[in-house]
Amino acid sequence: MSKICDLTGKAPMNGYNVSNSNVKTKRKFYPNLKVKKFFIPEENKWITLKVSTSAIKTINKNGITAVINKFLKKGYV
């Protein structure tokens, strides 16, 4: 199961843990993803998406169809 947002395309980033002695060890920064069901009233059906919490906030603000159309136009989906 990949850790990539279905709408925004957010993916894990690489970075370092830095200790007090300044020793750097590799680590990953994972996006905050949730599996969530959304109802699309135009098609009268439910879809399940793995989306980041920032995408969920955008969906709550603008609506699922507007957000999907916006991301389709930008080429994320």
13-37: pLDDT as tens digits: 999 999 999 999 999 999 999 999 9
Asked if residue 57 is part of any domain, the answer here is yes
Q: Which domain holds residue 52?
A: 13-74
Half-sphere CA count of 56, side-chain side, radius 13 A? 14
- Count of the separate structural domains present in the chain: 1
User: CA-CA distance, 77 to 71, in Å (whole number)?
Assistant: 6
Higher pLDDT, 23 or 7: 23
Per the prediction, the chain carries an average pLDDT of 92
| CB environment 23-42: b (16+ within 10 A), e (fewer) | eeeeeeeebebeeeebeeee
Percentage of residues in the chain having pLDDT higher than 70:
96
In the predicted structure, residue 77 carries a pLDDT above the cut 70: no
Asked if residue 52 is part of any domain, the answer here is yes
